[in-house]
């Protein structure tokens, strides 16, 4: 049993690491084509980002591996695989619940990370990326990585979700984490400035956090930033 648990954990670490390398690598290539020269002179920074991100992948993979082992061996969690277990309308709702719960956790822990002592001890690693690149999405100090690694493993014990919808949640987590750090806005201006765009976080919004630090703390949605009056809009450098 111990060997199976170890294999599950190692497999999840490898999956998280490869997912990071594949997605960040793809968007880094896209950045090089769309914004030639953006990465010029950033090779030492990018090496650091990749190093911290691979360490974070190990931290994210451990609880994921334990949960995957428990689900497969003992039926732990509320993850289900039969499409008829819950109504079809619950499928997108479960994705939203997971993303909103994660966004809520992230917003408040992110604000905590900006307390001076905590920032110096942990979050400064992430903000050392100046400017952020696609490789910075998981560039966290282990303390910060731990705060993010527990969210989904806890939620699967509380909120039922189809295994395919869990895949959607993980895909959104990965892609938005990368695209929000690319240093340029990949979405059209009409969408970013639309009513829908006013509630969704893209690179234009998150870039301002990296410029000013004390604002725009959200991950997916602008709900908490707006409610708590920490939303400062979009980066002017992206609006030119």
Which residues contact residue 35 at a Cβ distance below 8 angstroms, ignoring those fewer than 6 apart? 183, 184
pLDDT value of position 2: 82
φ/ψ of 222, rounded to 5, equals -95, 10
pLDDT value of position 236: 80
pLDDT value of position 135: 97
10-residue stretch averages of pLDDT, the chain, 240 residues long: 90 97 97 92 96 98 94 92 96 98 98 97 96 95 97 97 98 96 90 92 95 96 98 82
pTM for the model stands at 0.94
Which residues contact residue 148 at a Cβ distance below 8 angstroms, ignoring those fewer than 6 apart? 56, 60, 106, 109, 140
Domain ranges of the chain: 1-182
CB 192 within 8 A of CB 171: no
């Amino acid at each position: 049993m111990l060997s199976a648990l170890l294999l599950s954990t190692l497999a999840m670490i490898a999956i998280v690491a490869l997912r990071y390398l594949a997605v960040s690598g793809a968007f880094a290539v896209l950045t090089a084509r769309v914004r030639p020269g953006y990465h010029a002179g950033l090779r030492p920074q990018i090496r650091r980002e990749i190093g911290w991100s691979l360490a974070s992948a190990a931290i994210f993979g451990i609880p994921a591996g334990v949960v995957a082992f428990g689900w497969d061996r003992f039926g732990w969690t509320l993850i289900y695989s039969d499409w008829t277990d819950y109504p079809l309308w619950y499928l997108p709702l479960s994705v939203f619940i997971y993303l909103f719960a994660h966004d809520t956790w992230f917003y408040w822990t992110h604000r905590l990370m900006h307390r001076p002592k905590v920032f110096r001890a942990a979050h400064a690693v992430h903000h050392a990326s100046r400017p952020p690149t696609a490789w910075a999405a998981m560039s966290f100090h282990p303390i910060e990585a731990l705060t993010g690694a527990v969210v989904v493993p806890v939620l699967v014990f509380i909120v039922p979700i189809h295994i395919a919808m869990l895949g959607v949640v993980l895909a959104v987590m990965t892609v938005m984490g990368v695209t929000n750090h690319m240093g340029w806005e990949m979405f059209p201006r009409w969408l970013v400035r639309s009513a829908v765009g006013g509630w969704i976080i893209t690179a234009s919004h998150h870039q301002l956090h990296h410029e000013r630090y004390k604002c725009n703390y959200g991950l997916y949605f602008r709900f908490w930033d707006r409610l708590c009056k920490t939303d400062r809009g979009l980066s002017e450098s992206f609006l030119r």
